């Protein structure tokens, strides 16, 4: 199961993602947590210290990971022609959640045998004036498309705030996308826009809106009215979480007054894995769209031949 958390900046999506990771760990699941936000908050909330050299998007790491994923796939003419939407093919290596997996062993922080944390990275001084975070996320797209999960495995991703997932293939890479919304006009407007774009992209059914920082019944009514329906679940204002953050320590599931919202999210996601045929069709469309871009042809040639049939 691959689940993403997104929403307006400051909505609490990173904190909710961290709590959900903790809930899954306590339930005995294997979990890969991926911090894909430019602010790199999820890793810190899980107690992981990040460095530029360890970031998945560091050029050396990108090459290592893509070289491993490429394997002996004859449809890709070398790692230089590995693009964001390059699909696995014959001879490709897939990433598993086994602790000994080369990608996890080489690039993730191990919290325990069943829990690992990866961080994509952020802007660095050398990126000023010439960098784009969408480019950083390309290696995450590669990782997600080359995953092989066992039953009960989870990937939990903290996404970039807002609707940036529609600038690449990430909106098609998950089974569930949780949009975290506060009871404020700015936050619900992001949730509504995310829903509009998801409908246009053919993935509206993947979305689940979760209310956060809800103080009372008026807040609940506001979310329901402005979103055109009740959220999947809501988290009320949590004094325990606030105190943990004020002390500068990672939030824990035990800091919640009630873990029911986390259980509701897990129950909603259970069994909602996207059928392989549907994901293949979505990713094929996105790959061909990217293949038609002039800059892709100039840099990588005709990458449409990376598909099984063109």
Domain membership flag for residue 253: yes
pLDDT tens for the chain, residues 1 to 310: 999 999 998 899 999 999 999 999 999 999 999 999 988 899 999 999 999 899 999 999 999 999 999 999 999 999 999 999 999 999 999 999 999 999 999 999 999 999 999 999 875 666 655 555 567 899 999 999 999 999 999 999 999 887 777 778 999 999 999 999 999 999 999 999 999 999 999 999 999 999 999 999 999 999 999 999 999 999 998 888 888 878 888 888 988 888 999 999 999 999 899 999 999 999 999 999 999 999 999 999 999 999 987 5
Q: What is the pLDDT of residue 220?
A: 96
Q: Which two tokens stand for residue 100?
A: 């000994």
- Structurally, the chain folds into a number of domains equal to 1
Q: What is the pLDDT of residue 125?
A: 61
DSSP letter string over 30-92? -EEEEE-STT--HHHHTT----GGG-TTSHHHHHHHHHHHHTT-TTS-SGGG--TTPPP-TTP
Per-residue pLDDT at 242: 82
Q: Would you state the structure tokens that stand for residue 10, as one six-digit string?
A: 């400051």
Check which CATH number belongs to the domain holding 146 and give it: 3.40.50
Give domain status of residue 146, yes or no.
Answer: yes
Is 190 part of a structural domain of the chain?
Answer: no
User: Is residue 31 in some structural domain?
Assistant: yes
Domain with 118, as residue range(s), is 2-180+249-303
Is position 27 within any domain?
Answer: yes
Q: Quick one: pLDDT at residue 51?
A: 92
pTM of the full predicted structure? 0.94
> Does residue 52 form part of some domain?
yes
DSSP-derived 3-state class of residue 259 = coil
Position 309 scores a pLDDT of 75
| Whole-angstrom distance, CA of residue 105 vs CA of residue 142 | 17
């Amino acid at each position: 199961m691959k689940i993403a958390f997104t929403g307006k900046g400051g909505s609490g999506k990173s904190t909710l993602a961290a709590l959900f990771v903790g809930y899954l760990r306590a339930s005995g699941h294997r979990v890969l947590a991926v911090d894909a936000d430019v602010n790199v908050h999820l890793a810190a909330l899980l107690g992981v210290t990040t460095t530029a050299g360890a970031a998945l998007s560091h050029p050396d790491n990108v090459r290592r990971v893509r070289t491993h994923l490429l394997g002996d796939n004859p449809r890709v003419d070398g790692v230089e022609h590995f693009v964001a939407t390059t699909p696995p093919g014959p001879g490709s290596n897939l990433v598993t959640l086994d602790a000994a997996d080369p990608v996890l062993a080489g690039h993730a922080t191990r919290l325990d045998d069943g829990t690992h944390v990866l961080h994509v990275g952020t802007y660095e001084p050398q990126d000023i004036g010439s960098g784009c975070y969408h480019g950083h996320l390309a290696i995450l797209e590669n990782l997600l498309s080359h995953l092989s999960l066992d039953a009960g495995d989870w990937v939990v991703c903290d996404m970039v705030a807002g609707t940036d997932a529609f600038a690449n293939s990430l909106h098609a890479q998950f089974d569930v996308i949780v949009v975290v919304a506060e009871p404020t006009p700015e936050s619900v407007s992001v949730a509504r826009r995310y829903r509009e774009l998801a409908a246009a992209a053919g993935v509206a059914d993947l979305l689940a809106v979760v209310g956060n920082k809800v103080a009372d019944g008026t807040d609940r009514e506001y979310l329901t009215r402005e979103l055109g329906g009740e959220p999947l679940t809501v988290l009320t204002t949590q004094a325990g979480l606030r105190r943990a953050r004020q002390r500068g320590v990672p939030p824990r599931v035990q800091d919640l007054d009630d873990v029911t919202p986390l259980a509701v999210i897990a129950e909603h996601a259970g069994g909602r894995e996207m059928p392989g045929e549907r994901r293949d069709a979505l990713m094929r469309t996105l790959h061909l769209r990217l293949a038609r871009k002039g800059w892709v042809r100039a840099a990588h040639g005709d990458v449409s031949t990376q598909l099984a049939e063109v």
